[in-house]
Structure 1
Amino acid sequence: MGKDADNPITPSSIDFSHPLYLHPSDTQAVTLVSQVLRGSENYEVWSRSMRLALFARNKLGLIDGTCLRENQDEKLRGLWDRCNAIVLSWLVNSVDRQLATGIVFSSSARSVWLDLKERFHKADGVRIFSIHKAITSLKQGALSIPEYFTKLRDLWDEYDSLAPLPTCQCPTTQEYAKLVQQQRLLQFLSGLNDNYHHAKTQILLQSPLPTVNQAYSLICQDESHQLISYSTPAHPTEGATMVARGGRQGRGRGRGRSQEECSHCHRKGHKRENCYHLVGFPPSFRRQQAQVSTADHTINTSSSPAQTPITQQQYDQILKLLQKEKDDIAVTTTECIEETISGHLSWQNKEDW
């Protein structure tokens, strides 16, 4: 006591560990938390974030009652007023505008904190029931695994703030904590989509059951494996087919196939001004067609009968043979008709004679 009386604390002698010490960055324009208080629906998350931010700046005592003005030395009360005004500004900056108008005229940061707690801290059965229902009904749906897990963790944290677990270290409390963790593991797995069925089965077959964080890590690995599987072609021969067809799609009509329909040939994939039936077929068209037919034949040998493509020369030879055979049949038919007619006329002349 004698030493404190000989060396009283003054504003100039305050070090950084004192709750009334103001760092140059401690200004009124600072926003401590990104979560803005809107009402009872997010009060628990907001209050937890604010307490952490004030504790980090060593200003938590100005709202929890451990650093009151009447307990300070007469010379430090002016400094306490400055610290109280700065903390009050931080509170105003972290609430919604409609709420800020009701607390901007207050003179004590602690009184504002207690007023917000009394108005929005609803630890009743209705609030607990609504959070519990949101936890049990939450599904992954279109969310990714990290987004789904983060949303579920936020609901768990808010539920714990309204219905906290026992803090003692007795065996009964430890068993209860293990049961809560097991329930949360089941809640996490039950909300996943059906494409994680195999991974969920593998997790539930483990003994003992993993923690929620371990299960989250395993599901993330399974999600990465599924993404790799989706990006890999199902058949190795698809690459060869696309190479064979790439030349046809990349020449004359642009890369890729559009959904436009030609008004001349009524086929999709090109316009009238690019139609081969009007502008003419390119020299390499038949060779590319033969390459595509060969690639398709290689892929579909197990499901369709073999088809041997013919060249234009072979096609012309077949037409000549067919035409020749048609001419021979016509000549033979003409000769038979002439013989029949001549024979009939000869018989009639002979009878008449």
Structure 2
Amino acid sequence: MEMALLSKNKLGFVDGTIAVPNVGEVKYPYWKQCNNMVSTWIMRFSEANIFRISYLHAEIHQIRQGDLTVSAYFSKLKSLWDELQVIRPLPTCKCERVCNCGLLDTLQQHLESDNLLVFLRGLNETYASVQSQIMMTKPLPNIDEAFMMVQQQERRFNSGTTELLIQEAGIILLTQGNGSRSKKFYPNGNKKPICSYCGFTGHTTEKCYKKHGYPPGWKPRNRGVSYANQVQFASDEHPPGENGSLTLSQDEYRMLRQLSVDLKE
């Protein structure tokens, strides 16, 4: 607004450098006309801010994490909070003797608490446990501390996904080493699926009892064949094959080790 007034050579009507002439002077009607025009500009600018404030509030309360990472989601929220703070900052005490009742600190705490709740509410359902943990903390952590806690949980999720991808890659390498060329990576050409969760054949992850629970009255069957089809990985100190498990070639083992490093990076 100040830049707009300065470009029109009308800033003096606001900062007081242009004195108000007496009513009887010849230039008073011209001053009054310019002053009213400046007042109209200011009112329009204020109305534009009201619409922007309404939009920012709607965006802040409707935003959800969705496919965004925790960091990207938090950055998007923070940019909206910062813009709203610029357009409508918290009130400050302008009295000659500043009060010490703590009202302004309370207003700031309420604002930070509201932002924290908006951030937690917009997270995906996979973060429900850390949401409850943060909301039950007394006193509540600030928004930056809560962000770090949620981001730490995200790293744990990503670490689990990496381990699963490494396991699936090992199954593929072993299958290819056994001579199967099936596009679905079924070992030994028996057309049976491999569960990426437990490593057994004959079912997929969606129907895995070990992951979802065993049905009532379930009894284990002979598992000799199933165990033979599992992929067992040797430790970093010992190459595969020294512990009696199914083995990979040296090239396949090095490929799997490199895949593990790439995924974790």
TM norm structure 2: 0.49
Larger CA Rg, structure 1 vs 2: 1
- Identify, as 1 or 2, the structure richer in helix: 1
TM norm structure 1: 0.38
